[in-house]
C-alpha cells in the first residue's frame, strides 16, 4: 500500500526530488548569468568529435563521417526521394541503381541492397568507404536543393554491403545462364589480368560471371587490393574489406598468382606467348612526382613521398594483409605534407597516427581550390591539421643529414585568375619530416613501359580507346584504372567493368561468334539466396511469388498490369469492374496523403485516403485485358475483381463473363467503403453476413474457378463475415479493404479532399501501412476462427519483412497498393530478394539470432563475447556488433557509466588512448573473418506454405496471458544518448520507476518498474532499453 502524501492525501505528489529534472511549465522567464552558462556548457559539450594531434597515435579505428549505424542508415534511406531518372545514378561512374539500393535499405532488406550494388560494382564496399561522393552521386542529389541537404549515399552503400559481408554468403553465377560445361570452348580461353587492384577485381568478376573459366590475375605483392590495400589507410579502408571483395571474385573461379611482377617476372608479350588470348593491365602509376629540390633525400633524411610513406603505414596498421609485421614509420615533431589531393590528406592524417605532434599541409592553390574532396579535407581539418595555402616549394633546409625546415614562395592570383609565383614573398617553416604527395606518373619508367608493349603511352597514360579500353596498337591488349588516367577507385572499377565486355567481344569475335552485342549485357550479382523458392499454391493456383497488385490504382489499366508483370510481380487483381448499367464516373480531387505521417512529404507516406470508386472502364475491356494478359504471362496469376448490387442475375452474369476471360480466380468486392455502398453495392453488402452468405452461394452455383470474398474492416467482428463467406462456398477471403475515415479538417474548417465549389467531402478509405495493425488483427482472427481457410492479405504491406508478418498471421500471399503509390512497380525486386534472404537465413544456424536481416543486438554480442567496436553509433560512442565490423578493439575497461559528453567524453578518450599505445595494431584477433570455413552447412530452406500461420497459435485471449512471469526494463548505458525520454514518459504516463542522474543524465530503472514497456516504446535508440525477466516477486501497488 502506498503511503499517504505530506498532507495525508493519496493524490499528493510523491518523490519531489526525483521530479526535479522533469519538464515544467514555466511561470517566469529563465535567467542565468552568462558566466555560469559558459562554464556549464562545457559539462554537456558533445560536438568535439575528433581526437586531435598526438592523441591519435596508433589509432586506426574508423573515422569516416559517413559510417552509419543501422538506425542511422534506415532513417537516412527513408529520407531519399527515389527520384525518376535519378541524377545520382547518372553521376556514378559504375551507374549504380542508387535509388533502388537505398529503397532496400529503407525496407531493411540489406541483402537486396548489396545485391543491387555488387551487380554494378564488384568492389561496392570499398567504394562506399572511399568514393569521392560529394563530386559524384551526392553532387547530383535533388535533396541538395532542400534545407536538410543531400543523401549520405556513400555511407548507405557502405552499411548495406557490410551487413551482407557479415552474412558470409558466396557469389555464384546467374543461374539462368548456361552452366559452365555447356558453354563453347571459347569460354575456356586464357585471359590475364595484371595487378589485383579494383580494376582487375572488377574485370575478373564480370568475365567470370560471363562464364570464362581461365581468368588469371598476376599481382606483384603477396596480397591483393592494389592501391586500396597499399595506399589507403586502415581507418578509411580496412584490409578485410578488400579481402571480402576478392573472395567474392574467387568464388567464381578466378585465380590469383602472387609475387609476379610485370617487367621482372613477365611481360605483356610473354603472356601472349604463354597462351593468353587477351591481357588487361590494371596497375597503378608507379613513380611519384617529386620536386627537384628533394633530389637525393630519403627516409634517413626525414623525407618521404606518398609512394614510400603510405605503404609503410598500411603494412604497419592493416592486420591480415601480410605476415611481415611491419612497424609504423616513427614520426615525431612537425610534419609538412606537400599537396592538396586526397592522397596528401591521407598522408597528413596518417602522420598523426605515426607520432607527429603537428602536421601542416602546404599547397600551391587557395583553400577554395583544394583538389581533395570535402570527405578528405574536412577530416584533416577536424583533426587539427594546419592548412598552408598559396605555398610553392622553394628549398629544403638540411642540417646534420636531417631536414629542419622548408622554404616556400608565396603564390598569388593574377588578373586572369591564374596562380603565379610571387618571388618577392617567401617564408621558412620549421619541420622534422616532409611527405611529398604531388601525384604519380609512368614517364621515365622505361622497364615498365617496355614490359607493357605493345601497349604504348601518350602524355603519361596508356593509349587506349576511351569507350572500350582496348589498346590502339594491339587489339588483344586492354588497360584501365590509374594507368589509363582514371585514378579514383570507382573509375578504375568501371574501367574493369567496361573492359570485361570488350574482352568478351574480342574473344568471341576471334572464335567466329559475331552476334555479341556492342552494348554491354553483363550479368548481375547472384548468390545462393537467389536460388530460394518463394512460390506458393493457394486453392490450386500456383503463385510464382507472394507479391501482387491490389485491386486499386496500380491496376487502373491493363497496360499497367503488363508492366508490373514484366517487373516480376507474381499476380494482379484487376481494378473492380461492374456491368455496364453500374458504370461510374469519379470526382476529383480524390486521392490524398494521410495525416498519419505528420509533416513529412514525398515518399514514405504511412497512409493515403481515397474516395475513388471502382473502374471507369467497362467489363468488356477488362475481360479482353484478362485474356491478353493470361496469354502473354501464363506463369503470372490474374484475378478479376467484380462488383454488383444484391442481385443474383447480375452477380452470376458478371462472374461468367470474368471466368470466360481466362481469369485464374475472382475477387468479390463486398467492401468498398465509400460511394458504392450508397448504390447498394460494396460495403452495403459486405457488412451483412446474410447478404455475404447469399452472394457466395450464387457464385458457387456458376463458378468453376476459385473465388474470394473481399472483406471490409468496418464491422464489429470480421470473423462473422468471413464465416458467412466460408459457409456460402467461397474458396477464401481477401482481408482487408480500406478503413473508412475522415483524414482531417483544415484551418478554414474545410476537410480535404474538398470537391467542387461547395468544397464538400465524404468519408473515404484509408490505406497504407497505418492500416497494417488492423489487417494483421483481422487476418490472424480469421485464421484462428477458420483454420486452413485461404486468406489473401491486403492492407499495409510495404516490405518483405511486413509481408512475412502477414504470412505468419495466416495469409500466404499479399496484395500491395500504397507502397507502389509511394514508389513504383520496381519495388517488387526488393520484396522478392528480401523474402528469399529471410528463408535462406532460416536454413543457417549461425544466422538464427538475426532479426530478419538485422545483425544481433548488443546483448547477444556481449553474451557471445565478441569484440567491442568503435564505429559510428547513435550516441557517437562505442558499439558492439556480433557479426563483424571495422576498427575493433576490446571493451575499454572503466568506460561503463561514462556518458559521451563533456569531461566524461575526455575520460573515455584517455582510456582509448592508453589502450592504443600498448595494443598490437596488427593483432588479427580483432579483425572480422571473411572465411566461410566455419559457416554451418545450409540446411533445408522452409517454404512459404510452412510459414503460413506460424504466429497464430500464440495469439489468443487476454486470460490466456501469464501474470506470473513478469519483465522489467533494463537500460544499456553504452547506447544511451541521455535524452531522458524514458524518464519523462514513466513519470507522466507510467509508474515513476525511473530516476535520472543530474550530472550524467543516465536513467536508472528502480524496483518500482512494472514492466509496462512504455520506456522501450519511446526510446529513440533501438536496443538501448530491453525487457528482461523480473528476478524478484511482483507485488502490485493497490493504492490503499
Query: Which runs of E-coded beta strand occur in 455-520?
Result: 457-458, 461-462, 477-479
Taking the CB of residue 852, how many other CB atoms lie within 10 A of it? 15
Rounded distance, CA 652 to CA 667, Å? 13
State whether residue 442 is helix, strand or coil. Answer: coil
Say which of 347, 555, 672, 703 is annotated catalytic: 672
Rounded distance, CA 158 to CA 871, Å? 12
**What is the b/e burial string over 442-473, where b = at least 16 CB atoms within 10 angstroms of the residue's CB?**
beebeebbebbeebebeeebbebeeebbbbee
Rounded distance, CA 183 to CA 796, Å? 46
Rounded distance, CA 557 to CA 580, Å? 17
Q: Which three cell numbers stand for residue 911?
A: 582510456
State whether residue 709 is helix, strand or coil. Answer: strand
DSSP collapsed to 3 states, 318-364: CCCCCCCCCCCCCCCCEEEEECCCHHHHHHHHHHHHCCCCEEEEECC
For 237: left if phi > 0, alpha if psi spans -120 to 50, otherwise beta; the answer is: beta
Rounded distance, CA 217 to CA 297, Å? 35
Rounded distance, CA 81 to CA 1020, Å? 23
212 burial class (0-12, 13-18, 19+ CB within 10 angstroms)?
buried
With vertex at residue 557, the alpha carbon angle to CA 550 and CA 751, rounded to the nearest 5 degrees, is 65
Closest CA to 306 of 232, 376, 367, 358: 232
Closest CA to 310 of 280, 253, 348: 348
Rounded distance, CA 111 to CA 160, Å? 7
Closest CA to 815 of 787, 783, 791: 791
Rounded distance, CA 714 to CA 699, Å? 23
Q: Which three cell numbers stand for residue 966?
A: 513478469
Closest CA to 606 of 771, 763, 830, 743: 771
DSSP state of 458: E
Largest Cα–Cα distance in the chain?
109
Q: Which residues contact 569 (CB under 8 A, 6 or more apart)?
A: 545, 547, 548, 549, 636, 825, 828
Q: Which three cell numbers stand for residue 494?
A: 568501371
Q: Is 54 known to be catalytic?
A: no
DSSP collapsed to 3 states, 71-86: HHHHHHHHHCCCCCCC
CB 235 within 8 Å of CB 887? yes
Q: Which residues contact 515 (CB under 8 A, 6 or more apart)?
A: none
Chain centroid offset of residue 525 CA: 16
CB 490 within 8 Å of CB 127? yes
CB 490 within 8 Å of CB 121? yes
Helix (H) or strand (E) holding 814: strand 813-816
DSSP state of 711: P
Rounded distance, CA 177 to CA 169, Å? 20
CB 410 within 8 Å of CB 422? yes
Let me know how long the chain is: 1040
Kindly list the catalytic residues. 672
Amino acid at each position: 500500500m502506498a503511503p499517504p502524501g505530506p498532507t495525508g492525501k493519496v493524490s499528493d505528489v510523491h518523490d519531489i526530488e526525483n521530479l526535479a529534472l522533469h519538464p515544467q511549465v514555466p511561470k517566469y522567464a529563465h535567467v542565468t548569468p552568462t558566466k555560469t552558462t559558459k562554464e556549464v556548457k562545457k559539462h554537456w559539450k558533445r560536438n568535439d568529435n575528433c581526437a586531435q594531434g598526438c592523441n591519435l597515435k596508433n589509432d586506426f579505428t574508423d573515422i569516416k563521417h559517413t559510417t552509419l549505424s543501422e538506425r542511422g542508415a534506415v532513417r537516412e534511406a527513408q529520407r531519399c526521394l527515389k527520384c525518376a531518372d535519378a541524377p545520382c545514378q547518372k553521376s556514378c561512374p559504375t551507374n549504380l541503381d542508387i535509388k533502388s539500393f537505398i529503397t532496400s535499405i529503407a525496407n531493411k532488406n540489406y541483402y537486396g541492397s548489396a545485391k543491387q550494388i555488387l551487380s554494378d560494382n564488384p568492389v561496392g564496399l570499398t567504394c562506399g568507404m572511399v568514393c569521392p561522393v560529394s563530386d559524384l552521386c551526392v553532387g547530383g542529389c535533388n535533396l541538395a536543393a532542400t534545407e536538410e541537404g543531400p543523401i549520405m549515399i556513400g555511407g548507405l552503400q557502405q552499411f548495406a554491403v557490410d551487413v551482407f559481408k557479415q552474412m558470409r554468403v558466396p557469389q555464384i553465377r546467374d543461374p539462368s545462364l548456361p552452366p559452365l560445361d555447356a558453354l563453347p570452348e571459347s569460354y575456356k580461353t586464357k585471359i590475364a589480368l595484371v595487378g589485383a587492384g579494383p580494376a582487375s577485381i572488377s574485370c575478373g568478376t564480370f568475365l567470370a560471371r560471363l562464364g570464362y573459366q581461365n581468368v588469371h590475375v598476376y599481382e606483384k605483392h603477396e596480397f591483393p587490393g592494389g592501391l586500396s590495400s597499399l595506399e589507403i589507410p586502415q581507418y578509411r579502408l580496412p584490409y578485410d574489406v578488400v579481402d571480402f571483395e576478392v573472395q567474392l571474385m574467387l568464388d567464381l573461379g578466378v585465380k590469383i598468382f602472387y609475387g609476379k611482377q610485370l617487367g621482372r617476372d613477365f611481360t605483356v608479350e610473354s603472356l601472349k606467348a604463354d597462351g593468353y588470348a587477351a591481357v588487361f593491365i590494371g596497375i597503378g602509376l608507379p613513380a611519384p612526382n617529386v620536386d627537384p629540390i628533394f633530389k637525393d633525400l630519403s627516409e634517413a633524411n626525414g623525407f618521404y613521398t606518398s609512394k614510400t610513406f603510405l605503404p609503410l603505414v598500411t603494412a604497419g596498421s592493416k592486420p591480415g594483409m601480410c605476415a611481415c609485421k611491419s612497424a609504423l614509420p616513427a614520426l615525431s615533431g612537425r610534419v609538412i605534407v606537400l599537396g592538396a589531393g586526397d592522397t596528401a590528406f591521407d598522408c597528413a592524417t596518417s602522420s598523426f597516427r605515426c607520432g607527429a605532434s603537428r602536421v601542416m599541409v602546404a599547397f600551391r592553390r587557395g583553400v577554395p581550390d583544394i583538389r581533395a574532396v570535402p570527405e578528405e579535407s574536412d577530416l584533416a581539418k577536424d583533426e587539427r591539421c594546419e592548412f598552408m595555402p598559396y605555398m610553392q616549394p622553394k628549398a629544403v633546409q638540411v642540417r646534420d643529414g636531417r631536414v629542419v625546415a622548408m622554404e616556400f614562395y608565396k603564390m598569388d592570383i593574377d588578373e586572369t585568375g591564374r596562380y603565379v609565383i610571387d618571388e618577392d614573398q617567401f617564408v621558412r617553416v620549421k619541420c622534422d619530416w616532409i611527405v611529398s604527395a604531388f601525384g604519380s606518373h609512368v614517364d621515365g619508367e622505361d622497364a615498365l613501359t617496355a614490359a607493357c608493349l605493345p601497349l604504348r603511352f601518350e602524355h603519361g597514360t596508356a593509349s587506349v580507346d576511351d569507350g572500350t579500353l582496348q589498346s590502339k596498337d594491339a587489339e588483344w591488349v586492354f588497360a584501365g584504372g590509374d594507368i589509363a588516367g582514371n585514378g579514383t577507385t570507382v573509375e578504375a572499377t568501371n574501367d574493369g567493368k567496361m573492359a570485361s565486355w570488350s574482352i568478351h567481344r574480342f574473344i568471341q569475335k576471334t572464335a567466329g561468334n559475331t552476334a555479341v552485342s556492342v552494348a554491354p549485357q553483363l550479368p548481375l550479382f547472384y548468390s545462393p539466396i537467389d536460388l530460394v523458392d518463394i512460390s506458393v499454391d493457394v486453392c490450386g493456383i500456383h503463385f510464382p511469388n507472394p507479391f501482387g497488385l491490389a485491386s486499386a490504382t496500380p491496376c487502373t489499366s491493363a497496360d499497367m498490369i503488363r508492366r508490373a508483370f514484366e517487373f516480376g510481380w507474381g499476380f494482379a487483381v484487376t481494378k473492380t469492374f461492374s456491368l455496364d448499367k453500374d458504370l461510374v464516373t469519379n470526382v476529383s480531387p480524390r486521392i490524398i496523403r494521410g495525416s498519419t505521417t505528420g509533416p513529412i512529404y514525398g515518399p514514405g507516406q504511412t497512409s493515403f485516403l481515397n474516395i475513388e470508386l471502382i473502374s471507369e472502364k467497362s467489363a468488356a475491356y477488362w475481360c479482353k485485358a484478362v485474356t491478353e494478359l493470361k496469354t502473354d504471362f501464363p506463369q503470372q496469376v490474374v484475378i478479376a475483381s467484380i462488383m454488383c448490387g444484391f442481385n443474383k442475375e447480375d452477380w452470376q452474369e458478371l462472374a461468367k463473363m470474368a471466368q470466360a476471360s481466362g481469369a485464374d480466380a475472382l475477387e468479390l468486392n463486398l467492401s468498398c467503403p465509400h460511394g458504392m455502398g450508397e448504390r447498394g453495392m460494396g460495403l452495403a453488402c459486405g457488412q451483412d453476413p446474410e447478404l455475404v452468405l447469399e452472394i457466395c452461394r450464387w457464385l458457387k452455383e456458376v463458378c468453376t474457378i476459385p473465388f474470394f470474398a473481399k472483406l471490409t474492416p468496418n464491422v464489429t467482428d470480421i470473423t462473422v463475415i468471413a464465416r458467412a463467406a466460408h459457409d456460402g462456398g467461397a474458396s477464401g477471403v481477401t482481408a482487408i479493404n480500406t478503413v473508412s475515415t475522415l483524414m482531417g479538417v483544415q484551418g478554414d474548417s474545410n476537410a480535404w479532399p474538398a470537391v467542387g465549389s461547395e468544397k464538400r467531402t465524404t468519408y473515404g478509405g484509408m490505406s497504407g501501412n497505418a492500416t497494417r495493425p488492423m489487417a494483421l488483427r483481422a487476418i490472424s482472427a480469421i485464421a484462428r476462427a477458420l483454420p486452413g481457410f485461404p486468406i489473401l492479405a491486403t492492407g499495409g504491406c510495404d516490405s518483405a519483412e511486413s509481408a512475412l508478418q502477414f504470412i505468419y498471421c495466416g495469409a500466404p500471399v499479399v496484395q500491395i497498393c500504397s507502397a507502389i503509390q509511394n514508389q513504383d512497380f520496381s519495388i517488387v525486386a526488393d520484396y522478392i530478394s528480401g523474402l528469399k534472404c529471410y528463408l535462406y537465413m532460416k536454413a543457417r544456424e549461425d544466422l538464427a539470432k538475426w532479426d530478419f536481416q538485422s545483425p544481433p543486438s548488443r546483448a547477444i554480442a556481449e553474451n557471445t563475447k565478441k569484440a567491442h567496436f568503435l564505429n559510428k553509433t547513435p550516441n557517437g560512442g562505442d558499439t558492439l556488433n556480433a557479426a563483424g565490423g571495422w576498427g575493433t578493439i576490446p571493451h575499454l575497461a572503466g568506460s561503463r557509466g561514462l556518458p559521451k559528453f563533456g569531461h566524461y567524453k575526455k575520460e573515455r578518450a584517455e582510456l582509448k588512448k592508453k589502450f592504443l599505445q600498448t595494443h598490437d595494431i596488427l593483432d588479427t584477433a580483432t579483425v572480422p573473418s571473411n572465411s566461410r570455413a566455419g559457416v554451418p552447412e545450409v540446411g533445408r530452406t522452409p517454404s512459404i506454405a510452412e510459414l503460413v500461420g506460424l504466429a497464430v497459435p500464440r495469439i489468443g485471449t487476454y486470460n490466456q496471458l501469464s501474470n506470473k512471469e513478469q519483465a522489467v526494463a533494463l537500460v544499456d548505458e553504452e547506447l544511451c544518448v541521455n535524452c531522458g525520454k524514458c524518464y519523462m514518459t514513466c513519470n507522466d504516463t507510467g509508474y515513476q520507476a525511473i530516476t535520472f542522474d543530474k550530472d550524467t543524465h543516465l536513467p536508472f530503472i528502480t524496483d518500482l518498474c512494472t514492466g509496462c514497456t512504455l520506456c522501450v516504446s519511446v526510446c529513440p535508440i533501438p536496443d538501448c532499453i530491453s525487457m528482461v525477466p523480473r528476478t524478484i516477486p511482483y507485488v502490485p501497488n493497490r493504492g490503499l
